[in-house]
Structures are given as structure tokens and as C-alpha cells.
Amino acid sequence: MVHEAEDDVFDTFCQRIGVQNIREYEERQMKVAQEESQARLRFDTQIARLTHQYVFSLLSEKQFDYFVIVDVD
């Protein structure tokens, strides 16, 4: 009964976007949102890893420069 009421309310919308009913639309949207969330997490993880590598390389260079300066004296 609830599904029938939903189908009646969203019938025009569903026809316009090419889905059988609003539940199919919601399922598709949820899947897209989950995929976007996973992609964003992978992106954020990669940015964090690259940032850490960059900071480490900067610190390593400074330590190397420090040791070279100390060894010269």
C-alpha cells in the first residue's frame, strides 16, 4: 500500500528519468553516493600519503644539510 502511494506520487518523475519506481531511483542514488564516498576516501588517503612523503623528504634534506654543515667544521 505504501509502495503504491509512492509510485503514484513519483510516477511522472520516474517516467521522466527512466526508472520503474522511486525505490529503483533511490537504490541507484545510494550506490552512486557510496561509490563517490569510496573514491573520495581513496583520494584523501593518497593525498595524505603524498603529503607525508613530501614532508619526510623535506625533513631528510634538512637533516642531511645539517650533518654536512656539522662535518665541515
- For residue 68, name the pLDDT band (cuts at 50, 70, 90): low
How do residues 7-27 score in pLDDT, each as one tens digit?
Answer: 999 999 999 999 999 999 999
Residue 57: burial class (beta carbons within 10 Å; 0-12, 13-18, 19+) = exposed
How do residues 41-61 score in pLDDT, each as one tens digit?
Answer: 999 999 999 999 998 888 887
Query: Residue 63: how many CB atoms within 10 A of its CB?
Result: 10
How many Cα neighbours within 13 Å face the side chain of 43? 6
- Residues 6, 26: Cα–Cα separation, whole Å: 12
